[in-house]
């Protein structure tokens, strides 16, 4: 029981970070204090929506896992965390990555922060899946 709460807690914290980093903590280019996107297209906005979507999915899966308290829900949560980590990593580095110049806000703050959270999610989800799947 405690294990489910722990896993859901970690997911919610990491999912929350995925939501907060690109919008508030270390915002991508063109995102102001009023949380509105400035006009004009920035390459980093794909990563912004990738991280936002991943964050929302993690929050929902965390809630579902705590509500149902079943093995299937825990497995779905861990698989979702792994997938969310991969989406975050890929969208903030290669597909399509951030803006071209290293001086842009997205390259200086958002990208390293999302990469760290993405790696943490992949490790958490991967190790968790391996451990839960081993048990009968």
Partner 1 sequence: MSFADLVSLAWRGAIRRPVQSGLLILAAATAMGLHGGVVLLSEAGEAGMKLGLARLGADLLVVPEGTQEDLYDSLVTSQTTDQVLNAEQVGAIAGSSLVAETTAQLYAKSLSGASCCSVASVLIIGFEPHTDFVVRPWLAGRPRTRLSAQDVLVGSDLGLAEGDELKLYGTSLRVAGVLDPTALSLDVSVFVPMDTLIRMATASAKQAEKPLELSAGQASTVLVRLTPQAARLPVDQVATWLERDVPGVEVVVASELMVQLRTRLEAALAGLSSVRLLVGPAAALLGALALGLSVHLRRRDLGLLRALGATARDVATVVLLEAVGLAVLGVTLGLGVATLGVFAFQRLIADAMSVPLSMPSLERIAVLWAAGGAAAVIVALVAAAVPAFAISRLAPVDTLAMRHRRTT
Residue pair 111/103 in contact (Cβ under 8 Å)? The answer is no
Does 109 interact with partner 1 (rule: CB under 8 A)? yes
Residue of the chain from 107, 118, 125, 128 that contacts partner 1 (CB under 8 A): 107
Q: Which residues of 63-74 are buried (b: 16+ CB within 10 A; e: fewer)?
A: ebbbeeeeeebb
- Using rule CB under 8 A, residue 112 touches partner 1: yes
The residues, ordered by sequence, that sit 6+ positions from 110 with a Cβ below 8 Å of its Cβ are 21, 22, 26, 27, 28, 44, 47, 48, 92, 98
Q: Which residues partner with 72 through β-bridges?
A: none
**99 scored as a contact of partner 1 (CB under 8 A):** yes
Cα 76 to Cα 46: distance, rounded to the nearest angstrom: 25
Q: Any contact of residue 100 with partner 1 (CB under 8 A)?
A: yes
- Mask for 115-134, x = binds partner 1 (CB under 8 A): xx------------------
Measured from the CB atom, is 36 or 103 closer to partner 1? 103
Report the residue from 36, 103, 134, 135 that binds partner 1 according to the rule CB under 8 A: 103
Strand partners, 37: 31
Q: How far is the CB of 100 from partner 1 (least distance, A)?
A: 4
Residue 96 binds partner 1 (CB under 8 A): no
Q: Does 113 bind partner 1 (CB under 8 A)?
A: yes
Q: Which helix (H) or strand (E) holds 108?
A: none
| x-or-dash string of contact with partner 1, 8-47, rule CB under 8 A | ------------------x--x----------xxxx----
């Amino acid at each position: 029981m405690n294990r489910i709460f722990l896993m859901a807690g970690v997911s919610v914290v990491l999912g929350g970070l995925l939501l907060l980093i690109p919008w508030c903590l270390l915002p991508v280019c063109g995102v102001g204090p009023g949380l509105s996107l400035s006009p004009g297209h920035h390459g980093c906005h794909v990563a912004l929506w990738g991280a936002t979507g991943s964050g929302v999915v993690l929050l929902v899966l965390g809630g579902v896992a705590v509500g149902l308290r079943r093995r299937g829900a825990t497995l779905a949560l861990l698989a979702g965390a792994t997938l969310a980590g991969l989406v975050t990593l890929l969208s903030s580095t290669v597909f399509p990555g951030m803006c071209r110049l290293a001086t842009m806000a997205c390259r200086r703050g958002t990208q390293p922060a999302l990469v760290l959270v993405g790696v943490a999610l992949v490790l958490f989800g991967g190790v968790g899946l391996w451990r839960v799947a081993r048990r009968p």
